Structures are given as structure tokens and as C-alpha cells.
Amino acid sequence: MGCLDHLFVHRGHQRRGIAGALCDRLESLYPEKVITVHTSITARSFFERRGYRAILDQQVERRRILLDNFVMEKPAKQNHNHS
């Protein structure tokens, strides 16, 4: 299992495909791995469009504020080589 940690794109550079390109590269390097991410409610739809599914809804505390957060996973690609 792999974990995508700390994916952040500055607001001045969002919607330019940067996060998608970074995820494309990571996912292509480890296609046989399940990739897990802890994501905010804002980023959830980005990961859903990439094939991640929410496996746990949770709240995390940051600076004494509770934030909704989701643990999401992208399944490993199945290897269909039948040698």
C-alpha cells in the first residue's frame, strides 16, 4: 500500500492540471499498489474523479477546529498476465 501525502497546489496555480500531473506520475510508478489519501472535503471530488473511493469519514482537529476529512483509496490495477 502507498500513501499520497501533502498534495497542495497554491491557489494562484490551481485548475492548470498540476495536481493531476503529479497524481498521474505517482500512480504510473506504482500501478500495483493501493494508494491511500487523507483528503479534505474540498479535494474529495478531485480524487473521486481519479477513481478513489471514500472508505472512512472522519474529523480531524487543526488549531482547535474540527474539520471534515476523508480517507480514500484507489485500488491497485489488476495484472491480467496469465503466463
Q: Which three cell numbers stand for residue 80?
A: 491480467
Asked whether the beta carbons of 4 and 19 are under 8 A apart, the reply is no
67 bridge partner residues: 60
Please check whether the domain covering 2-74 is classified as CATH 3.30.70.20.
no
The H or E element that residue 36 is part of is strand 35-40
pLDDT at 54 over 60: yes
User: Which of these, 15, 65, 74, lies nearest to 39 by C-alpha position?
Assistant: 74
The mean of the pLDDT values for the chain is 90
Per-domain boundaries in the chain: 2-74
State pTM to two decimals. Answer: 0.83
